[in-house]
């Protein structure tokens, strides 16, 4: 299982499935805005083990309630209040994650307080049920959601750029794809279209620039459908349409509007 699929699994609640091993030094794709999301998820989930060890008296850590209950002392918390806020501060998902992360640390502080008061049974009960578990799972899910949101946005843009090569290969007979006019003409079947109608819409849907992207993307697919329809009659003409006229103009406008969308959000932070 690839890393992106693993994060999607966390979002669906099936995070028991492990991702494919990552070679040492080959985890740059998991880092966004200064945070390695895989490392962040792993470190967050280790809190349970750390607290269990502390309750059992086998830990060498000197945990303090007034530190553990704060949401700005762990690596994830420091990122939230620094580069995370700078990069994702406009995102509803980020604000949800920030709030649940703060709640999680309050719950962890309660577990630690019960332990230090000498009530290990109460501490274990708090750790294995109730608010601690819910808050922990919510933080993990929202971290995964943020990673997928950012990663699929880039993936969607990359897939749009590849349309020209896909159509050229199909027209020349060098492709095994079964491209159909009625499908290619639709704006909700490609990777970018699914992103626009899904998590991209959640992130940017209220912004005027997002409406521009959707409109231009729909126009682009109508143009792509026209190229494909022409290929059934005149392949040379279809190849020419990929180079001049409505298709390349529409493709460039989509790319420009996506860049503009991200730039507007960056300056709005």
pLDDT tens for each residue of 102-139: 999 999 999 999 999 999 999 999 999 889 999 999 99
Q: What is the pTM of this model?
A: 0.58
* pLDDT band at 146; cut points 50, 70, 90: confident
Q: In whole angstroms, what is the distance from residue 118 CA to residue 137 CA? A: 27
Domain coverage including residue 252 = 162-268
**Pair (60, 39) in one structural domain:** yes
pLDDT reported for residue 23 = 45
Structure tokens at 45: 């989930």
Q: Is residue 155 part of a domain?
A: no
Structure tokens at 260: 């503009």
Q: Is residue 157 part of a domain?
A: no
- For the domain that residue 7 is a member of, what is the CATH number? 1.20.120.30
Structure tokens at 84: 């995370």
Tens of pLDDT along 194-235? Answer: 888 877 887 788 889 899 999 999 999 999 999 999 999 999
Top pLDDT among 88 and 37 is at 37
Are 27 and 36 a contacting pair, CB within 8 Å?
A: yes
pLDDT reported for residue 168 = 95
Query: Could you say which of 124, 150, 176 is where a domain stops?
Result: 150
**Pair (137, 242) in one structural domain:** no
Tens of pLDDT along 155-189? Answer: 667 778 889 999 999 999 999 999 999 999 999 98
**Pair (195, 251) in one structural domain:** yes
**Pair (140, 172) in one structural domain:** no
pLDDT reported for residue 8 = 64
**Mean per-residue pLDDT, 77-98:** 84
**Pair (13, 145) in one structural domain:** yes
**Pair (144, 21) in one structural domain:** yes
Structure tokens at 111: 């577990």
Opening angle at CA 153, ends 99 and 74, nearest 5 = 30
Comparing CA positions, the residue from 210, 184, 191 lying closest to residue 148 is 191
**Mean per-residue pLDDT, 87-111:** 88
Q: What is the mean pLDDT of the chain?
A: 85
Q: In whole angstroms, what is the distance from residue 94 CA to residue 177 CA? A: 38
**Mean per-residue pLDDT, 237-260:** 91
Domain count, the chain: 2
User: For residues 115, 119, 120 and 125, what is the CA-based torsion angle, rounded to 10 degrees?
Assistant: -100
Q: Is residue 210 part of a domain?
A: yes
**Pair (139, 207) in one structural domain:** no
Query: What distance separates the 2 farthest-apart alpha carbons in the chain?
Result: 82
Give the DSSP H or E segment for 37.
helix 37-56
Query: Quick one: 190 exposed, middle or buried, by C-beta within 10 A (0-12, 13-18, 19+)?
Result: buried
Give the DSSP H or E segment for 220.
helix 208-231
Q: In whole angstroms, what is the distance from residue 4 CA to residue 68 CA? A: 30
**Pair (43, 20) in one structural domain:** yes
Q: Is residue 185 part of a domain?
A: yes
Structure tokens at 262: 């991200």
Mutual orientation of helices 208-231 and 163-172 as an angle, nearest 10°?
Answer: 10
Q: In whole angstroms, what is the distance from residue 187 CA to residue 174 CA? A: 24
pLDDT reported for residue 194 = 82
Are 256 and 213 a contacting pair, CB within 8 Å?
A: no
**Pair (58, 31) in one structural domain:** yes
Query: Could you say which of 150, 172, 194 is where a domain stops?
Result: 150
Top pLDDT among 147 and 7 is at 147
**Mean per-residue pLDDT, 17-29:** 48
pLDDT reported for residue 260 = 78
Q: Is residue 156 part of a domain?
A: no
pLDDT reported for residue 151 = 67
- The separation between the first and the last C-alpha atoms of the chain, rounded to the nearest angstrom, is 35
- For the domain that residue 204 is a member of, what is the CATH number? 1.20.120
**Mean per-residue pLDDT, 135-164:** 79
DSSP 32: E
**Pair (143, 11) in one structural domain:** yes
**Pair (13, 140) in one structural domain:** yes
Query: Could you say which of 122, 150, 178 is where a domain stops?
Result: 150
**Pair (25, 114) in one structural domain:** yes
């Amino acid at each position: 299982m690839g890393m992106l699929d693993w994060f999607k699994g966390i979002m669906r609640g099936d995070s028991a499935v492990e991702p494919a091993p990552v070679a040492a030094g080959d985890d740059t794709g998991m880092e966004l805005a200064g945070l390695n999301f895989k490392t962040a998820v792993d470190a967050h989930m280790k809190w349970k083990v750390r607290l269990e060890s502390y309750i059992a008296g086998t830990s060498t850590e000197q945990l303090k309630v007034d530190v553990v209950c704060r949401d700005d002392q762990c690596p994830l918390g420091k990122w939230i209040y620094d580069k995370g806020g700078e990069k994702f501060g406009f995102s509803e998902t980020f604000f949800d994650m920030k709030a649940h992360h703060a709640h999680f640390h309050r719950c962890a502080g309660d577990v630690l307080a019960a332990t230090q008061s000498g009530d290990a049974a109460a501490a274990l009960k708090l750790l294995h049920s109730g608010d601690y578990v819910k808050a922990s799972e919510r933080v993990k899910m929202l971290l995964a959601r943020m990673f997928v949101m950012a990663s699929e946005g880039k993936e969607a843009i990359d897939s749009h750029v590849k349309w020209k090569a896909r159509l050229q290969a199909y027209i020349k007979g060098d492709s095994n794809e079964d491209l159909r006019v009625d499908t290619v003409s639709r704006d909700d079947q490609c990777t970018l279209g699914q992103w626009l109608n899904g998590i991209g819409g959640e992130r940017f849907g209220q912004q005027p620039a997002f409406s521009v992207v959707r409109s231009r993307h729909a126009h682009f697919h109508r143009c792509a459908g026209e190229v494909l329809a022409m290929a059934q009659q005149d392949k040379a003409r279809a190849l020419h349409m990929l180079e001049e006229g409505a298709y390349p103009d529409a493709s460039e406008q989509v790319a420009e509007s996506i860049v503009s969308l991200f730039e507007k959000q960056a300056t709005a932070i």
